[in-house]
Amino acid sequence: MNSLHLENIQRVTRRQLFGSAGMGIGSVALASLFQRDATAARSTPPTKQASPGLPGLPHFEPKAKRVVMLWQGGGPSHVDLFDPKPELINRAGEDIPASVRGTTRLSTMSSGYAKWPVVSPIKPFQQYGQCGMEMSTMLPNIGSLADEICLVRSMHTEAVNHAPGVTFFLTGSQVPGRPSMGAWMSYGLGCETDDLPAFVVMTSSDKGKTCGQLFFDYYWGSGFLPTRFQGVKFRNTGEPVPYLANPAGVSREARRVLLDDLAAMNAKHLADYGDPEIDTRIAQYEMAYRMQASVPDLVDFSDEPRHVLDRYGPDVRTKGSFAYNCLIARRLLERGTRFVQLMHAGWDQHSNLYTQLEQQCKDTDAPTAALMQDLKERGLLADTLVAWGGEFGRTPFGQGDPANPKGRDHFGKAYSFLLAGGGARAGHVHGSTDDYAWNITADPVHIHDMQATIMHLVGIDHTKLTYRYQGRQFRLTDVHGHVVKGIIV
């Protein structure tokens, strides 16, 4: 057997060792994490330190150091929650005129309708805060923080179905495969700590599972960026991150020795082949080791005051609930995680508008406000951007039997989105729509504009953070997007 053949056999065996050992400490669950110097990983015990981003970033002084995306999957109804229109009450049951509808693209569920009956908001609106911002009485806790909120009433998107709409907002394209917003930020800016991931995702759903929409991994994927930048999903049952615990009989010290030896072999493999995924593997192992200590502390609420737990609502101790995830989000943000993405399903009221929408508000209103209030009391809201919204809004006309409609269809021509903290203009309403909440009448904000603005608030020029792939430079906003100056301070 010649020496080359022997070396190839050794490399195959080594790859098998990488695979079997990696499953034990989280390579599957943790393929999102930071690049670390291979030499340091090989010989130096882990320490808590910042993981830097790209040279030259941020491009300018950021207003926000971190972002929490409170994604409301299914399409919250702007006409019921955020955009009061007296004409919808005055003209209830009447058809929305063709002159208003125009050629608006609708989903196939309602595009062929012969009648377009106006449906009034299901609950009253009221003014909140010193700014007098009008929101639904179904959101009293969020409303109580109106003076901290920037309410954008002029969002619009081309998407009319859920998966393309979510993908569009979070990745910049309706087609899967692009890096998500959190991945771009992790890639560009790094993280403030090495003990937790830069980008964490948690999912939840309404208790009745009425929405039926799935949350796909590509909503927090890294696309063509190195895989260490994809979001780390915390599970809502069992251990938050699988495979972190050491096998029975293996001490933490023994794990450290094993990791050092694995890192040395990985570094040699990296030198031989230059595959960046090997560097990612080294980072995964190191992050898994550190998270063995940091995650148990993260999910231990014993140090939280009773009044703080109470404000999140009765579900705060229920794993997988939106309330539980909101409190975990705050604990992640204060520990240095760059981007936290909470995805909550249940806003798709096609036939249960009069029952499910109010229940959805009850489940999410208090936790959302509690998170904002928590951040404010800890001095973190000023440099943490809170974003709240979904892929589109809901139709001003009713869906179903035109004589007795029970729901609203998807609607992307105009809808609402909320921002708070992190440089967003507080106590401000941006943009407006017509009397039917159908057409934007002032200050339109496209999906790409919102992406550009969020990136701007964290110190990134969206036109300059690019990655070369398949012969061209890609960015989150594709070739579009303008920073919306009116919604930032």
pLDDT digits (tens, 9 = 90+) for 461-484: 999 999 999 999 999 999 999 999
pLDDT over 70, % of the chain? 83
Residue 446 and residue 481 in contact, taking contact as beta carbons nearer than 8 Å: yes
Domains in the chain, number: 2
pLDDT digits (tens, 9 = 90+) for 100-153: 999 999 999 999 999 999 999 999 999 999 999 999 999 999 999 999 999 999
- 327/261 same-domain check: no
Residue 424 bridge partners (DSSP): 488
| Confidence (pLDDT) at 314 | 96
Q: Give me 407's structure tokens.
A: 């729901």
- 218/276 same-domain check: no
Q: Give me 242's structure tokens.
A: 């699988």
**Short-list 332, 322, 334, 407, CA closest to 365:** 322
DSSP 77-140: -HHHHT---HHHHHTTTSBPPHHHHTT----TTTTT-S--BB---SS-EEEETTTTEEEETT-H
| Cα–Cα distance for residue pair 363/205, rounded to 1 Å | 10
Q: Considering only the C-alpha atoms of the chain, give the largest distance between any 2 of them, rounded to a whole number of Å.
A: 89
What do you get for the CA distance between the two ends of the chain, in Å?
Answer: 71
Give the CATH number, domain containing residue 179: 3.40.720.10
271 part of a folded domain: yes
Side-chain-side CA neighbours of 237 within 13 Å: the count stands at 0
246 part of a folded domain: no
Report CA-CA distances (Å) from 293 to 42, 168, 171, 193, 290: 20, 36, 32, 14, 6
Give 219's contacts (C-beta < 8 A, 6+ positions apart).
Answer: 166, 167, 170, 171, 180, 201, 341, 343
| Confidence (pLDDT) at 244 | 66
- 421/438 same-domain check: yes
Quick one: 108 exposed, middle or buried, by C-beta within 10 A (0-12, 13-18, 19+)? exposed
245 part of a folded domain: no
- 168/19 same-domain check: no
| Cα–Cα distance for residue pair 366/23, rounded to 1 Å | 38
56 part of a folded domain: no
- 357/256 same-domain check: no
| Confidence (pLDDT) at 11 | 43
R_g of the chain, CA atoms, integer Å: 24
Domain stop point among 266, 298, 330:
298
| Confidence (pLDDT) at 413 | 98
| Confidence (pLDDT) at 27 | 38
Decide the pairing of beta strands 149-156 and 445-446.
Answer: parallel
| Confidence (pLDDT) at 245 | 67
- 393/286 same-domain check: no
Rounded to 5 degrees, φ, ψ at 238 are 65, -150
| Confidence (pLDDT) at 213 | 79
28 part of a folded domain: yes
Side-chain-side CA neighbours of 381 within 13 Å: the count stands at 22
Give 65's contacts (C-beta < 8 A, 6+ positions apart).
Answer: 192, 338, 383, 384, 422, 458
| Cα–Cα distance for residue pair 314/305, rounded to 1 Å | 15
Q: Give me 133's structure tokens.
A: 């911002």
| Cα–Cα distance for residue pair 76/357, rounded to 1 Å | 8
- 481/417 same-domain check: yes
**Short-list 46, 63, 184, CA closest to 489:** 63
65 part of a folded domain: yes
What domain range includes position 256? 1-50+251-298
- 145/235 same-domain check: yes
Q: Which helix (H) or strand (E) holds 298?
A: helix 276-298
> CA 243 from chain center: how many Å?
24
**Short-list 99, 61, 9, 113, CA closest to 395:** 113
Residue 445 and residue 110 in contact, taking contact as beta carbons nearer than 8 Å: no
Q: Which helix (H) or strand (E) holds 381?
A: none
| Confidence (pLDDT) at 482 | 98
| pLDDT of the chain, 489 residues: tens digit per residue | 444 344 444 444 444 444 444 433 343 333 333 333 333 333 333 334 567 899 999 999 999 999 999 999 999 999 999 999 999 999 999 999 999 999 999 999 999 999 999 999 999 999 999 999 999 999 999 999 999 999 999 999 999 999 999 999 999 999 999 999 999 999 999 999 989 999 999 999 998 888 777 899 999 999 999 998 999 999 988 788 766 666 776 677 776 666 677 767 877 776 776 676 666 666 666 666 677 778 889 999 999 999 999 999 999 999 999 999 999 999 999 999 999 999 999 999 999 999 999 999 999 999 999 999 999 999 999 999 999 999 999 999 999 999 999 999 999 999 999 999 999 999 999 999 999 999 999 999 999 999 999 999 999 999 999 999 999 999 999 999 999 999 999
Helix 3-25 and helix 276-298, axial crossing angle in degrees, nearest 10 = 20
- 257/137 same-domain check: no
| Confidence (pLDDT) at 120 | 98
55 part of a folded domain: no
- Positive or negative CA dihedral for 295, 299, 302, 306? positive
**Which of the 8 DSSP states describes residue 400?**
S
**Which of the 8 DSSP states describes residue 434?**
-
